[in-house]
Each structure stands twice: as structure tokens, then as C-alpha cells.
Amino acid sequence: MQKDLKIYVAGHRGMVGAAVWRALLAEGFSNLIGKSSKELDLKNQESVNSFFQNEQPQVVIDAAARVGGILANNNFPYPFLMENLQIQNNLIDAAHRNEVQKFIFLGSSCIYPKLAPQPLKEEYLLTGPLEPTNEWYAIAKIAGVKACEAIRKQFGKDFVSLMPTNLYGPFDNFDLETSHVLPAMIRKFHEAKKNNHTDVLLWGSGKPMREFLHVDDLAKAVIFSVKNTLPEHLYNVGTGTDVTIKQLAEIIQKTVGHKGEIVWDSSKPDGTPRKLMDSGKLNALGWKDSIELSHGIETTYKWFLNNQENFKQVKL
């Protein structure tokens, strides 16, 4: 793999894109392109086409998306559907039209049916209803997966989709209105600790099970996909192990040093009962995660402490 390949990382300032950018540099890839949303509006088809025509990237990694947790998905269904469709469609089509050699589309485990057998296998896609609380985002991501599959099938191009499980790590979104469960818990326990160890109220029963992958491990999977030609169009990226939300809360509480009580609000939705990924296909090709959950949470909390004035605040 030539280290001077021209690689465009869409969404390079987000949690995933920043991790991919760091991993590419660490691997010796130096010809990287990144544009902020002010420099390039990915929702604007004409602007994206012009960018591809001018820059002619050889590899595109799509880490750009409108993201958020259950609350954000519930409250803003239209932008979660439409903006994600616009972003990915513009990138995929421009890459196809401009003869990009390799396109890596990053999605989410929420593409799979709510009650699919566990662990989730790639072939379970489109076999049942989605989780209603995040179906808008999921439908957009499914469309991206199928678009890449269609280009691969019709034109034989190396377009591949990676579906990570729940991600966390540096540059995550810690805004309590729009964040995912793990960063939201870090902030809640931290603020409760500062406020004389007051009790922490958490959504749901604590019983659902979730799998968590450090974003640097996902970045290594992306690098693996850049350096190798993968034989299929869709791969799960996860750890193969999960914990209950209650266990996650207890790990974070211990890491933060919070001494108060955890109170569960069972009137709030739990979401999918369990969501564990089967990453056997990618494991068999040579990729494996390496960051253990408690260690990953510890390093993420340290990052949070050092960046409280700068962490992402999503405004809707």
C-alpha cells in the first residue's frame, strides 16, 4: 500500500474521523485531505462534486454523519434521516463519478432489526423491524450500505461498509441533550461528584445489554480496510462482549469517583434489549480489538477532564 495515497477523510473533526486521521498519520499516510463543514457543506451536491473534481482523492473514508442518542433521534427525526442521506449520497456518488479507488462507509449497529438473533450477523440486515427510537438514522445508514453494495455489484469497485458497535473515546459528544449513553454517564457522574456526590438519575431499568468499542480500535479497522481488499461488502466491527447498562454505570461511577446513589427512571425507554455484534468475519481476516472497556473509560474520562472547555456541544 502506497503511503502517498491521497486520502480524504470526511468528518475528520468528529470523534470517529479524528481517530481515523490519527491512525492514518501513525501508519505513515501523509497525503490526507480534511475539510470542515464551513469549508465544505457535504449536504450540497454541487459543492461535493466540485471538491472531488478538484482534489481527485484516491481513497475516501466517510466518517461524516449527523449523530446523537435516543433523545436526539426521537426529537429530531427529519434531520437525522434527511441530512444523513444527503451527506452519504453526495459522497458515494461523487466518489463513483470521479473514479475513487476505495470507499469506506462507516455506519452503525442500529441498522439491524430490534429483535434480531444475538449476536448480530451481517446477514440479518433487513430481516425485521428496526428499533423505533433510532430508525431514522438507521434507515439512512442502511441506504448507504446498499448504495455501496450496488456500486460494488454493478461496477466492481472496492466500496466497503464497516458497521461499528457503540463507540466512545476522545472527542466524543458530552452534551446531555444529544449524547450517547457512555459519554452522558461520564458527564452526569462527574457533575454529581462536583456537586457533593448527589444522586445520579439514569434512564430506563439498567437491564439492556450493550457492547462498546473504543474509537481507536475502530480506526485500526479502517486502516486494515485501507491496506487490504476485503472480499465482501459489509463487516461488523465490535468486541464480541457486552455489559448491562447497570454494569456500565457502575464502571463509570467507580472511574469518576462518585460516591452517591444511582437512581433508575423506569418510565424512560430502554431501547433495544440487547445489541451484541458478531465480528467474526473481520476477525477472521486479521483485525481484532485491543482496548479493554474499563481502561478505555479511564482514558476517555481523563480526556474529558482535560477538555471540558472544548468538548463538542451539539446545537439543534
Parse the chain into domains and list their residue ranges.
7-306
Largest CA distance in the chain: 61
Taking residues 210-229, report their average pLDDT: 98
* Pairing label, strands 209-210, 243-244: antiparallel
From 8, 112, 124, 137, the catalytic residue: 137
Catalytic (active site) residue 137: yes
For the 7-306 domain, the top CATH level (class) is alpha beta
> What is the residue-averaged pLDDT of the chain?
94
Q: Tell me whether residue 222 is annotated as binding.
A: no
Q: Tell me whether residue 14 is annotated as binding.
A: yes
| Statement: residue 316 has pLDDT above 50 | no
Cis peptide before 57 (omega within 30 of 0): no
Measured distance CA(34)–CA(32) in Å, rounded: 7
Q: Tell me whether residue 109 is annotated as binding.
A: yes
Q: Give start and end residues of each alpha helix (H) in the chain.
A: 15-26, 45-55, 70-75, 77-97, 135-155, 181-194, 215-227, 245-256, 280-285, 293-306
Q: Provide the pLDDT confidence category of residue 315 given band limits of 50, 70 and 90.
A: very low
Taking residues 192-221, report their average pLDDT: 96
User: Which residues sit opposite 210 in a β-bridge?
Assistant: 243, 275
Residue, of 48 and 269, whose pLDDT is higher: 48
| Statement: residue 289 has pLDDT above 70 | yes
Taking residues 46-62, report their average pLDDT: 98
Q: Provide the pLDDT confidence category of residue 304 given band limits of 50, 70 and 90.
A: very high
Measured distance CA(230)–CA(36) in Å, rounded: 29
pLDDT number for residue 290: 97
> Considering the chain, what percentage of its residues have pLDDT values greater than 70?
97
Q: Tell me whether residue 316 is annotated as binding.
A: no
Measured distance CA(33)–CA(36) in Å, rounded: 10
The dihedral of CA 281, 282, 286, 287: what is its sign? negative
Q: Provide the pLDDT confidence category of residue 179 given band limits of 50, 70 and 90.
A: confident
| Statement: residue 311 has pLDDT above 60 | no
Q: Provide the pLDDT confidence category of residue 310 given band limits of 50, 70 and 90.
A: low
| Statement: residue 68 has pLDDT above 80 | no
Measured distance CA(144)–CA(159) in Å, rounded: 11
Q: Tell me whether residue 13 is annotated as binding.
A: yes
Measured distance CA(279)–CA(235) in Å, rounded: 7
pLDDT in tens, 237-250: 999 999 999 999 99
Q: Tell me whether residue 203 is annotated as binding.
A: yes
Taking residues 138-162, report their average pLDDT: 98
Whole-prediction pTM? 0.93
To the nearest 10 degrees (0 to 180), the angle between helices 45-55 and 77-97 is 30
pLDDT number for residue 314: 39
What are the cell numbers at 116? 434480531
